[in-house]
Amino acid sequence: MKKLTALAFVFASVFAFSQESVDQKVENLLKKMTLEEKIGQLNQYTGDNAATGPITINANKQNEIKKGLIGSMLNIMGTKYTRQYQDLAMQSRLKIPLLFGLDVIHGYKTTFPIPLAEAASWDLDAMELSARIAAVEAAASGIHWTFAPMADISRDPRWGRVMEGAGEDTYLGSKIAYARVKGFQGNLGDVNSVMACVKHFAAYGAAVGGRDYNSVDMSNRMLWETYLPPYKSALDAGAATFMNSFNDLNGIPATGNSYLLRDILKGKWNFQGFVVSDWGSIGEMVAHGYVKDNKEAALSAITAGSDMDMESNAYRYNLEQLVKENKVPVALIDDAVKRILRKKFELGLFDDPYKFCSLEREQAALNNPEHTKAARAIATKSIVLLKNERDVLPLSKGLKTIAFIGPMVKPKRDNHGFWAVDVKDVDSTYIVSQWEGLVNKVGKKTKVLYAKGCGVEDKSKEGFADALNVASQAEVIILSIGENFNKSGEAKSKSNLQLPGVQVELIKELQKTGKPIVILINAGRPLIFDWVADNMPTIVYTWWLGSEAGNAIADVLFGDYNPSGKLPMTFPRTEGQIPIYYNHFSTGRPSFNEDKNYKSAYIDLPTTPKFPFGYGLSYTTFEYSNLKLSKKTMKNNESITVSLNITNTGSVKGEEVVQLYLKDRFGSVVRPISELKDFQKITLNRGETKTIQFTIDNQKLSFYNNALEFVSEPGDFDLMVGSSSADIRLKDSFELVK
């Protein structure tokens, strides 16, 4: 014990010393800087090769870097280019290194499943690992900073950016945001780590109608209860930076929102890193109708706490004047500059501005077979088996002929999903197509026949005949359909989420053959496929799985991996049900058992979704039993241990995500009908039983009351354990007493 304390003391002093020395270095440098150079540090431009937004600036960037008027560049990647740009910064008076930022969202050269797909794995270690590998590759390519993770909760699949987040649930989203920050940042400062940037602060996922860049209007209670926790969790993991969001929140654009940035983030949460605006979001406050011009926009943003201006040119051309007019105190600018410089020091860029520019390291990191292995493993874990009614899956390896049909069989690029920034030239990036994956898997023993059938968005049925022809020769049909990769992502909101084109008609034609059909649905969001879900017995949701997509899909189809994915978002029956999410409030007229008489329901639809949150099948079955609570009443300084047994009752090894939900029966504000409060992903051999435990503590029972206090209130709680939010296997209740 004594030893530990002494050790802790040494660590604390070393930490304090190094902290102090970074702060001291920052102060010393700041003293040498002109106001113009300080403002330069707050200025970020995109490179010209891979714009990720509308470029509006025609600046002479190279010269400006040499003058010390740019602090950071985004969209410059590769050691060759980052070195060239860093060379320019080294010609500036104070030689302050540039920071290179990039949207490394789900991998860099090796791509992993899109974040929504990864969230379906419920495997936090795997998600941390994929972020780690992305960081290793990006850092080796000269990148210091990724604009990830996106911690925006969203309950609206029309919003194209659901692909980039962890779905609808606050608890799951918080855990994932934490894991991903840890993965990206590793030991920040070493050459294998990048800074994380938690985005988009705040509540971007609640854009009205799921339309990108749209307004957000919500109660403060809802903001604190549902939307803020994942950002906070990412901060608790040590996130170095935050990005603000495009939306206005209750009438104030997030970029100029002091409540969000000063009061919450930098105030109550004591965030010490820096905030970057979203692309052009400072200037966009003019279009919001919140400020008159770019100058007022700069004033609003810097006052609110946005430290770095991405692509608005608002700080660059207005802050100096605003200082002269005494509207912006230099101290405010100094604070923003210090936050940025501190990160540059912490990354070690002042010791070696080319620290991330080693060509040898780049080549090794971008060609590491361990990375592809990990990509395959997490891709298999992200696949969700939606239906397997006649046990068509897993397929036998003894099949003689398979017909592999559909518009997604042969393409490569789609498998990466949106935000795969390094994919310029598909041929030079690493992607295993679905065709290659299947053919690799079955080898020469099985004949695999191919027909496209139709294009994703085709109106023409010309290819049906060919599809029917190959189908007629096969024992099993695998049909790969969906929505193209670039139909989800930024600025990809959609009002119609049905399977596009004539794909459903192709299914109907193939169904007539009477052969078993396995449907693979590829998409970056929950799609709507009501008829298919009702009529086709075997459906696999593959999302976009990244570089190893083809191999991962084949692993699942042939049972080399037993699927374990669970939906991180509710799948609606029709667009009219949106927003639909499992943890809604209790209404005064709830509709149970489809009784809709004077009830809160749509009279033309069942009250349930098509597939609920937390849902996903396995090739085996699990039995839940023996639920025990260590006590039935608890005080708020106590906890309850919940234990239960899970048995693998099927014939193969499998993984189950055991989900724990709570319902607070009464509260000073209405409470959700159930809330995920814990989960465990466990592996069980066939016939094996494991006892697992959860702990219920006061934190799990607390919520934001109307005064925005995080409190628990005495009363009864229902406890539910199950295989999805709608498949509750065991129940009990307990009471919280004063």
H/E segment holding residue 735? strand 727-737
Minimum distance of ligand NOJ from residue 614's CB (angstroms): 27
Q: Is 604 a catalytic residue?
A: no
Q: Report the chain's terminal Cα–Cα distance, integer Å.
A: 35
What single-letter amino acid sits at 556? V
Tokens of 705: 């009351």
Least gap, CB of 419 to ligand NOJ (angstroms): 9
In 69-164, alpha helices (H)? 79-89, 115-119, 124-140
Please state the closest distance from residue 279 (CB atom) to ligand NOJ, in A.
Answer: 4
> Phi/psi zone of residue 713: left (φ > 0), alpha (ψ -120 to 50 degrees), beta?
beta
**Distances from the Cα of 161 to the Cα of 130, 253, 389, 524, 544, angstroms:** 20, 19, 32, 9, 14
For ligand NOJ, the closer of residues 53 and 590 by Cβ is: 53
Question: From the CB of 609, what's the least distance to ligand NOJ, in Å?
Answer: 28
- CA-nearest of 613, 545, 491, 575 to 170 is 613
- Asked if 131 and 194 count as a contact pair (C-beta separation under 8 A), the reply is no
For residues 120 and 565, give the distance between their C-alpha atoms in angstroms, rounded to a whole number: 5
Cβ closest to ligand NOJ, residue 279 vs residue 613: 279
Q: Which residues contact 693 (CB under 8 A, 6 or more apart)?
A: 641, 642, 643
Query: If we measure between CA atoms, which residue out of 228, 233, 221, 267 comes closest to residue 703?
Result: 221
Nearer to ligand NOJ, 46 or 480 (CB): 46
Q: Using CA atoms, how far apart are residues 346 and 189, in angstroms rounded to an integer?
A: 6
Task: Give the amino acid at 319.
Answer: L
The token duo for 175 is: 């855990």
State in angstroms the smallest separation of the CB of 548 from ligand NOJ: 25
Structure tokens at 723: 């295989």
E strand or H helix that includes residue 726: none
Question: Active site residue: 103, 123, 248, 278, which one?
Answer: 278
Q: For residue 389, what are its two tokens?
A: 């009614």
Min dist CB 411 to ligand NOJ, Å, is 25
Question: Which residues of the shown chain bind ligand NOJ in the complex (CB under 6 A)?
Answer: 52-53, 74, 103, 147, 199, 278-279, 490
| Residue with smaller CB distance to ligand NOJ, 198 or 662 | 198
In whole angstroms, the minimum distance from the beta carbon of 105 to ligand NOJ comes to 8
Closest approach of ligand NOJ to the CB of residue 147, in Å: 3
When the beta carbons of 255 and 380 are compared against ligand NOJ, the nearer one is 255
* Residue closer to ligand NOJ, measured from CB, 116 or 657: 116
CA dihedral 280, 285, 288, 293 (to 10 degrees): -110
CB-wise, 212 or 436, nearer to ligand NOJ?
212
133 burial type by CB count under 10 A (0-12 exposed, 13-18 middle, 19+ buried): buried
Chain-centroid distance of CA 242 in Å reads 15
Within 10 angstroms of residue 422's Cβ, the number of other Cβ atoms is 23
How many angstroms separate the Cα of 512 from the Cα of each of 182, 330, 505, 508?
Answer: 51, 74, 11, 7
How many residues appear in the chain? Answer: 738
Residue of 212, 184, 211, 214 lying closest to 196 (CA atoms): 184
Say how far apart CA 256 and CA 238 lie, in whole Å: 24
Q: Residue 103 or 123: which CB sits closer to ligand NOJ? A: 103
Beta bridge partners of 519: 479, 539
Compute the least distance from the CB of residue 361 to ligand NOJ, in Å.
25
CB-wise, 52 or 639, nearer to ligand NOJ? 52
Cα–Cα distance for residue pair 704/710, rounded to 1 Å: 4
Beta bridge partners of 711: 703
Q: Token digits for 595?
A: 């009784």
Which residue(s) pair with 522 in the sheet?
482
Q: Which is nearer to ligand NOJ, 424 or 589 (CB)?
A: 424
Burial class (CB in 10 A: 0-12, 13-18, 19+), 398: exposed
Q: Shortest approach of ligand NOJ to residue 631 CB, angstroms?
A: 46
Of the pair 487, 573, the CB lying nearest ligand NOJ is at 487
CB 204 to ligand NOJ: min, Å: 8
| Enzyme catalytic residues | 278
